Structure 1
Amino acid sequence: MGLLFACSVAAPAAIAQPITAEDFIAFDADQARIGQLLFYDKVLSGNQNISCATCHHHDLGGTDGLSLGIGEGGVGLGPDRTPGDGRDRIRKRIPRNAPALWNLGHKDIRVMFHDGRLVPSDMYGNGFDSPAEEWLPQGLGSLLAAQALFPMTAPFEMAGNVGENEIAGAVNNRVDLAWPIIAKRVRTIPAYGEMFVQAFDHIDRPEEVTIVEIGNALAAFIGTEWANYDSPYDDFLVNGTPLPAAAERGRQLFFGAANCVQCHNGPLFTDQDFHAVALPAFGPGRTRKWDPLPRDVGRMGATDDLEDAYRFRTPSLRNVTLTAPYGHNGAYANLRDMVRHMADPLTSRNSWTPELAGLPDVPWLDDLDFIIQADALEMRRQAAFLDVRPVALSDAEIDDIVAFLQSLTGKTALSRPMGRPNTVPSGLPVD
């Protein structure tokens, strides 16, 4: 998922800094090997029918290629994924676009999720401020490890619905009650048990494996597998290798008149802050008990602060060409359309049509997918919360900015060191 826009204040003069291997957390290779298998193993899901890789697959640049994912109950991968049928069919779409995984092991990463609901903190005595609050276990070695635990407890992502399996039932009572069940599933598979004993110094017997080791293993894999910083732009930074002419013009616009750098700055091309950019609204939204409208209020959903309404985290632009559709809800399947929106959000919002997204048809959700657009008051609210100053860009200038964004794609981005395993210890099928 990528985002580009000109903020309403002056841009900093500095250009993005280069990345080196020393900028990343030093994860253990044996733990990463366990994480690779778990990432593709459906044993982590309530009904054992979906894995982390379903929405973050190697073949799809670490995402799923959909605006809003088809989660638990669906069949297949990416744009070809179907919503299931009968009792197993999906009940709603995943409310937000699957975030990209690139460079999440970088030491500067300090916030996770589109709304930033996971950050380092001493508030609860476990190192993190998270949706699990004091029930998040201690011992998670990184923000990435903490993040890895939450998709397993999300009903429409991996857990399933109440009554379908014991994990979904446990989550319904309290989020942390599901994690011991998942850990037992994993450690009682002999191959996993042996690998954990070998990879973790403090684990002497498989029975000692908890969700903490599972989270740390997943983080070791994600943090190493998706580290990538060998793009043409990196060659430009490190070696002075000139960019192609269009990309160079786009670079000057990006760091100059278009002011994209105001929010897409630093080595990862993100300020990791939150901004309202008036993306067209659709899908189920992230409803709350006291706010049942099918809308997504973004950061405000985590802070309950009206100042944060409709603001979403600025994502990294590294390898952005590989992570379509774009925006927190995947409103644009084409990078050029996303750049055009960020240059003039309200004009693009007013001319947006559903065909610009990548939203597979789910007939029984047709009446709900765009119902929020009929709420005139809500549409006015979303348009009013805007942190973007329009920038006049010609079609040629938009093309040049896209050319620059293409120069942020790593030369080895599609050749990951570990890749997709052919089999997993549970024996479940690997997509």
Structure 2
Amino acid sequence: MAIKQVILAVFALMGSTAMAAPSSLPAPLTDDDFRPIDPAEAALGQLLFYDPILSGARDVACATCHHPRFGTADGLSLGLGDGGIGLGTDRVADKDNLPEERIPRNAPALFNLGIKDLRVLFHDGRIAVDDTRPGGIRTPLDEDMTAGFASLLSAQTMFPVLSPDEMAGHYTESDVARAVRQGVLTGQGGAWDIIARRVADIPAYAQMFRDVYPHVQGPDDIAFTDISNAIAVFMEDEWRSDNAPFDAVLRGQADLPPLAASGMDLFYGRGGCSDCHSGPLLTDQDYHAMGAPQIGPGKKARFETLARDEGRAEVTGLPEDMFAFRTPSLRNVALTAPYGHAGSHADLAAFVADHADPVAALARYDAGQAVLPALDVEDDSIMSDPAEVAAIAAAVTTPPVVLSPNDVTALVAFLDSLTDPAAVKGRLGVPDAVPSGLVVP
């Protein structure tokens, strides 16, 4: 280790671009950074994660939009949940149950969500650690939020089942959809309770819950929070990612190849990437307006018609938060295309180049690079409106960074070094079958 430090010091004195200064790099991840895992709880969560029984029409699982085959996302710019058929880039609209619209935001990857320091989730941070709230978690349900979620991830995991476009379905399509439409989400007879009773009625699940949770003595004791807690533990264990080449660098066990090392130097130096993508997860877990193009339906209420997505301002209502989105972790980013809160870019190099000078990139953005299943909806209403594009551009405060094509290539090589083969594969994998007997995605 002493020899390595001397070599790095020499590089720094020479002004070399081959390696980043050691003081720029975060501390390596260790077991102490992650929540402990109960293997039996993770095994139960695995089955629930891949079981479509959690959706209103019993045809969409968590894995439908977060599949290991697509880097724990779905390979689409904006996915199709309820009303879709198939998986990933092969997913199409069901002509007999057409989706009302696309899911408004890109499906985020699921790596390292078991880290203890996890503070915010969703692109706009609408679920976050908040010690002033019951249970220490702030969610859109505010004071109506059910108690018993064991972690921030557990609370986040179960909001997609309440979304008509993602898992709940629309109008009278199912008992869950009806409950959601009526606004009956929690408590007895609410959407969460309906799903819990479905799961509890399956003997194999009832037995597994008895085996895992001491407070469950029979099917009637299974709460929705138990389901979400198990799924969260599965995700925490399955996609823990701390054995990429970059991690070997952080632990002083290896160096990156020259091109990736040059990219790392850019990332932590002149490129300014680490100003936001900091720490071992390469995210500051904060919000920034970076001018990412907006495609699709936007994030709006049913009665609204404008396709705008105001990002963090949707949660806070503050003008200074307009078009700001949570900094994503870059773990395994090479495998999680498309990129941006609306999946505007299918290619990582193209996104890096545009991200360096987002205002200029907005003016030349071509929506043809997005990956969108055919659906009879308008996807470019914002990007075809000069006033809307100007508003997105005006929110950007970060100065542009000049990157040459060689710089972009080097940065992408560094981002490739964040790929952890073990995490990408997963630890338990995709089950052959689930207790409900429904089709595994």
Residues 124-143 of structure 1 mapped to structure 2, 5 A cutoff? 124-143=133-152
Using the TM superposition, give the Cα deviation of residue 240 of structure 1 relative to its aligned residue in structure 2, in angstroms: 3.7
d(CA) in 2 for partners of 1:186 and 1:271? Answer: 37
- Give deviations 1:334-367, integer Å, cap 9, x for gaps: 00011001111122211111122212222x12xx
Percent identity, please: 45
Residue 331 (structure 1) aligns with:
344
Q: Indicate the larger mover: 398-407 or 380-389.
A: 380-389
d(CA) in 1 for partners of 2:360 and 2:229? Answer: 44
TM-score calculated relative to the size of structure 1: 0.94
Instruction: Find out whether 1:358 has 2:363 as its counterpart.
Output: no
Residue 194 (structure 1) aligns with:
207
Residue 250 (structure 2) aligns with:
237
- Give deviations 1:254-276, integer Å, cap 9, x for gaps: 00000100000001000000001
Residue 98 (structure 1) aligns with:
107
Residue 392 (structure 2) aligns with:
382
With CA pairs under 8 Å and 6+ residues apart, which has the higher RCO, 1 or 2?
A: 1
Pick the aligned partner of 1:210 from 223, 229, 235: 223
Residue 425 (structure 1) aligns with:
435
**Which structure 1 residue ranges, 4+ long, deviate > 4 Å from structure 2?**
none
Residue 84 of structure 1 aligns with an amino acid whose one-letter code is D
Equivalent pair of 2:105/2:341 in contact (CA under 8 Å): yes
Using the TM superposition, give the Cα deviation of residue 289 of structure 1 relative to its aligned residue in structure 2, in angstroms: 6.4
Distance 1:212 1:255, change over 3 A: same
Query: 3-state DSSP class of the match of 1:131?
Result: coil
- Give deviations 1:77-114, integer Å, cap 9, x for gaps: 0001011103x011100000001100011111100100
Equivalent pair of 2:356/2:402 in contact (CA under 8 Å): yes
Residue 159 of structure 2 aligns with an amino acid whose one-letter code is F
Query: 3-state DSSP class of the match of 2:251?
Result: helix
Pick the aligned partner of 1:147 from 141, 156, 162: 156
Query: 3-state DSSP class of the match of 1:374?
Result: coil
Instruction: Find out whether 1:182 has 2:195 as its counterpart.
Output: yes
Instruction: Find out whether 1:114 has 2:114 as its counterpart.
Output: no
Pick the aligned partner of 1:73 from 76, 79, 83: 83
Residue 315 (structure 1) aligns with:
328
d(CA) in 2 for partners of 1:240 and 1:65? Answer: 33
Pick the aligned partner of 1:396 from 406, 410, 415: 406
Residue 142 of structure 1 aligns with an amino acid whose one-letter code is S
Pick the aligned partner of 1:39 from 30, 46, 49: 49
Equivalent pair of 1:272/1:313 in contact (CA under 8 Å): yes
Pick the aligned partner of 2:180 from 160, 171, 182: 171
Using the TM superposition, give the Cα deviation of residue 33 of structure 1 relative to its aligned residue in structure 2, in angstroms: 0.8
**What's the C-alpha RMSD, in Å, of the aligned pairs?**
1.5
d(CA) in 1 for partners of 2:130 and 2:356? Answer: 35
Residue 95 of structure 1 aligns with an amino acid whose one-letter code is P
Equivalent pair of 1:127/1:138 in contact (CA under 8 Å): no
Residue 118 of structure 2 aligns with an amino acid whose one-letter code is I
Query: 3-state DSSP class of the match of 1:398?
Result: helix
Name stretches of at least 5 consecutive residues in structure 2 with no aligned partner: 1-20
Using the TM superposition, give the Cα deviation of residue 375 of structure 1 relative to its aligned residue in structure 2, in angstroms: 2.6
Equivalent pair of 1:75/1:83 in contact (CA under 8 Å): yes
- Give deviations 1:246-298, integer Å, cap 9, x for gaps: 00000100000001000000010000000011111210001136853111000
d(CA) in 2 for partners of 1:51 and 1:195? Answer: 19
Equivalent pair of 1:12/1:262 in contact (CA under 8 Å): no
TM-score calculated relative to the size of structure 2: 0.92
Equivalent pair of 1:12/1:261 in contact (CA under 8 Å): no
Residue 72 of structure 1 aligns with an amino acid whose one-letter code is D
Residue 197 of structure 2 aligns with an amino acid whose one-letter code is K
Name stretches of at least 5 consecutive residues in structure 1 with no aligned partner: 1-10
